[in-house]
Chains A and B, each alone.
Chain A
């Protein structure tokens, strides 16, 4: 299995991401999510942390929501099309960005739905983190009136 992943990575581009297990998304879902974080977040951001934070967020909600995101990530990971020969997580971050952009403007409704759901989740998590605020000029919550 590892050998196949290595060969695939050599043939089709980016190295596979490290596998991290997730109670709601599973290891495959978590890998795709982290790949999306790498694609969508600034280079300075910690994609692994962001993926973990999404997990934590999901854990506080209805498990059905986690299942919906897991399914969306699975489709994003495996959907073939165009010149794309590799799984999503094995593309370079730039290629992943292009895939998400193309899906976000696709005439196929479910593709747009998946791209927007994943993107919104990742962006929310990133900008909820105080470390992101200095870059946008937000001083943080007002702590006293």
Chain B
């Protein structure tokens, strides 16, 4: 069953086989696999239990309801928005539904350079395919692309750049365009509509929403209980206390909050919170004479990946450009570095096309727990990464010019509209630094790195925290480096493999 905080506002105590913390791509799949194996599972989810009736497509209501910090979570310098869902189903409720498994080359990179040898490459790829299938993955037919995504491909092809349309986990999409604030039509087959209800149907699973875990109690090499408070979603304040005892614990709170919980509990050693990958993305937009109507249709559906590097030697690198669009408030806020000029941009909202330049970064960031219990998210802006980002921004602008844009808007504060390739010379006077341009991370990874050596990693090859017999981390935290350009299926893959371990 799925239980709300209001059902147990005075608190509760439970005893179960397995306690799963988090119900997103990692926790949802782990719960499903464990239930299949006959285990009794209690899932603790900090966010609310919500569904299509709650998704009113109003940004002012949905961001506070469905996102960490109402969508305002950032790195400590404010330079990168770190957007994460917070609901039963986690980020799969609010993501762009892109199905991109761990590429073979990345699995080989992890095997050869990070010691991830427990599963064969073919097994990893096979589980990735199974995860995609379970979500109803299907290809977006290119003829069905909205004009925003079609323009990206058209301009890219003019420049000789390769690309295509995503596979996605929407079934029966009506093109409302509000994927980021919950699908009011249940077309996006999130974990909340697939793995969670299937697991609950076994009768062995209790999903407790509105339950914020504060710490893990442990003794010797075993975790004995997860403790915390039921919270009031109206103001995030704590209500009654809870305690869940279990034989096995699965931590799947995401790459920001899984390490935070380990740190709060004094677990995991010195590597916890290190090696954060954010995969920051920068927007480029363009206006066209004819309407683009990018706010309808599948918002993120096409990509240009000629310059993406997938290498068994070096991992994921280069860059890719992806067509994307958002509802008005998020669009305006994203371009906030332009100040009051944003209104001029917004008057052309219906004629605007947009994309994000995704540049995988090295695992050089960190998450640490502040005294107030919140995460301090830090990263670096290393020279090679910023050079690649500038190249990607220039390419995206050229793509739009080739597609016939009237003008292109660069992301940098103080940039002037680009109407010809010569106008791109202004890029020379900008530099990438916090709050000089919008940067968005929707794929935080890597803060509880998997590996054989406790000196350089947090969890072993079966997902168990080094030195602990019954605590696994099964989410995007465990990736040694960038897993893919989209993390939903990679996270599910690791959760599937880890949950199937006999522990």
Contacts and interface: CB of A to CB of B under 8 A. Distances in A.
Given A53-B60, A57-B70, A142 B336 contact: no
Given A112-B436, A127-B346, A138-B349, A117 B78 contact: yes
A125 B329 contact: yes
Interface stretch (A5-13, A14-22, A77-85, A98-106): A98-106
Interface in B169-221: 172, 174-178, 184-185
Given A113-B78, A117-B78, A136-B347, A61 B236 contact: yes
A56 to B, nearest CB: 8
Interface string B56-70: 111110011100011
A124 B59 contact: yes
Interface string A131-144: 01101111001100
Contacts of B184: 141
B141 interface: no
A126 B332 contact: yes
Interface in A58-102: 59-65, 97, 100-101
A60 B73 CA distance: 14
A11 B185 CA distance: 58
A121 B334 CA distance: 10
B235 A60 contact: yes
A51 interface: no
A60 B236 contact: yes
Interface of B is mostly: loop
B236 A113 contact: no
Contacts of A26: none
Nearest to B346: A136
Contacts of B57: 141-142
A104 B328 contact: no
B25 to A, nearest CB: 24
Contact of A138 (B77, B328, B337): B328
Interface size, A (range):
35 or more
A61 B69 contact: yes
Interface string B111-141: 0000000000000000000000000000000
B347 A135 contact: yes
Contact of A39 (B172, B340, B349, B413): B340
A112 B435 contact: yes
B295 interface: yes
A42 B184 CA distance: 31
A119 B487 CA distance: 30
Q: Which 6 A-B pairs have the closest CB atoms?
A: A145-B174, A141-B57, A137-B350, A120-B336, A128-B60, A112-B435
Interface of A: 39-42, 53, 57, 59-65, 97, 100-101, 104-105, 109, 112-113, 115-117, 119-121, 123-129, 132-133, 135-138, 141-142, 145
Interface of B: 56-60, 63-65, 69-70, 72, 77-79, 172, 174-178, 184-185, 234-236, 291, 295-296, 328-337, 339-340, 342-343, 346-347, 349-351, 372, 374, 413-414, 433-436
